[in-house]
Amino acid sequence: MSATERQIVRLVRAAAPGEIKQTALLSRSTSSLQFTGLLSTSKHFEVASLESLVGIDLIVADKILVADGLITKEGLHGATLDAFLLSALSALNTGGVLVVREDLSSDASPRVTLPSLTDYVDVFRRDIAGKYVGFDFYCAEQVDSSIYLNGNYLDFVWILRKKEFTPPAADAATVTFRDFLDKTQYTNTGIGAYEWMFGKDFISPGGYDENIRVLEQFGGFKYGAKMLDIGSGIGGGVRQAAAVYGLQVTGVDLSANMLTEAIVRVHDEKDSRVNYSICDAVTYDFGENVYDYIFSRDCIQHITDQDALFKNIYKSLKPGGVILITMYGKGKGAWTEAFKKYNDQRFYHLQTLDEVKERAIKHGFEAVHVENMTERFREILTHERAHLEKEKVDFFKHYTQAEFDSLYNGWSAKLKYIEADNHNWNLFRARKPA
């Protein structure tokens, strides 16, 4: 039983707590995964034999996608990938789990393969025996042992749970919330242009320097302690917390485009204090009493079920641990039509400072501190917009007029929302009782 097998079993149990009676292990002779003593009925199969299986609770496909040509130099091979996913769905019981383990360190373009494979499996839906089924995406996570033993940050496991879905409306543009994030606010060019605006490695107001100022609000760190960064984006905050404060940091983000960028960068840098998982911070099981610090920069306005998020955060924080979050929030002014549209397009769930405070207290946090940072937000937006104008020539070397207009107008609009006391920028800090 290796640590990698244990990591996979931990993720499977978290995604689907039911009993695992029948397991199918799809592997090559070189596979290191056996699950001996962990999963009693594991058997080895070739991919083609999956078609004849039914009633399976767990399928582990260990490094077969590249080996069998489902991922090629040209990218994903749609027809064979479709056939594989369809056979897996037919073989699995509802609630059963498909684990795909694939090492992308030899892939020519992991920046493309990682998000496109994640997208493929997340939105894959088919009618099977009268039911509309697909995979409920739990996570795509780095294999810890590959990081520590080989400096390989590109070895992944995807954890996918078979689920029955309601067919989408004919005009639905996106299938899941991850799909929505990756196709709207966090497209690849969008991320690049945002990073130009905010500064290297950051997709949040003020970039590197502002993030240091925000981290300082924790009031100091224990060297080597563990931090969780929720909605870590392209990884600026995670790498800063590790490199400047010596923390062990896990970054999670639901956007595959965002987190891929963070992962590829850390694969080049080899900072083993840092690891990542593409997952939804609301549903991922972080474990109990794990982190000394939980941090989140400007993510939680995206989250609908704030109570579920706070419950999850509270559970994973160690007793005495500290949480610090900045978020886009709402003020007390009547919403303008433009602000309503801005909010609806992004599916934001903006809260007032009072709402955040009440929720924190309701979930058991103590020493709750909230702070309105909107004036600082105004200063930053004004500075960033002026910088865009001044450095136009550099911007146009990389991006188009349309992207310039979108950023310039977006920053100007936010300044107007602040003026109307619609848009706020809020900070929340609290402690889990010791």
Interface residue list for ligand SAM (CB under 6 A): 181, 186, 202-204, 230-233, 236-237, 252-255, 258, 280-282, 297-299, 302-303
Residue 132, number of CB atoms within 10 A of its CB? 14
CA distance 14 to 254: 17
Shorter beta-carbon distance to ligand SAM: residue 6 or 378:
378
Burial of 337 (0-12, 13-18, 19+ CB in 10 A): exposed
Residues β-bridged to residue 228? 250, 294
Shorter beta-carbon distance to ligand SAM: residue 86 or 415:
415
Structure tokens at 24: 């199918």
CB of 431 to ligand SAM, least distance (A): 22
CB of 17 to ligand SAM, least distance (A): 21
- Distance set, CA 387 to CA 133, 195, 393, 406, 423 (Å): 49, 13, 11, 15, 22
- Determine contact, residues 359/327, Cβ cutoff 8 Å: no
CB of 66 to ligand SAM, least distance (A): 27
Q: Which residue type occupies 332?
A: K
- Determine contact, residues 293/218, Cβ cutoff 8 Å: yes
CB of 207 to ligand SAM, least distance (A): 8
Shorter beta-carbon distance to ligand SAM: residue 33 or 274:
274
CB of 296 to ligand SAM, least distance (A): 7
- Determine contact, residues 202/211, Cβ cutoff 8 Å: yes
Distance from the first to the final alpha carbon of the chain = 35
**CA 401 from centroid of its chain's CA atoms:** 30
Shorter beta-carbon distance to ligand SAM: residue 134 or 199:
199
Residues in the chain: 434
Strand 71-72 relative to strand 75-76, pairing? antiparallel
CB of 20 to ligand SAM, least distance (A): 27
Structure tokens at 285: 């099981």
Shorter beta-carbon distance to ligand SAM: residue 299 or 356:
299
Structure tokens at 60: 């582990």
Burial of 254 (0-12, 13-18, 19+ CB in 10 A): buried
Shorter beta-carbon distance to ligand SAM: residue 96 or 233:
233
Shorter beta-carbon distance to ligand SAM: residue 200 or 416:
200
Shorter beta-carbon distance to ligand SAM: residue 155 or 280:
280
CB of 195 to ligand SAM, least distance (A): 9
Residues β-bridged to residue 317? 291
CB of 151 to ligand SAM, least distance (A): 25
Q: Which residue type occupies 115?
A: P
CB of 287 to ligand SAM, least distance (A): 16
Shorter beta-carbon distance to ligand SAM: residue 6 or 349:
349
- Distance set, CA 388 to CA 12, 228, 380, 393, 425 (Å): 46, 32, 12, 9, 21
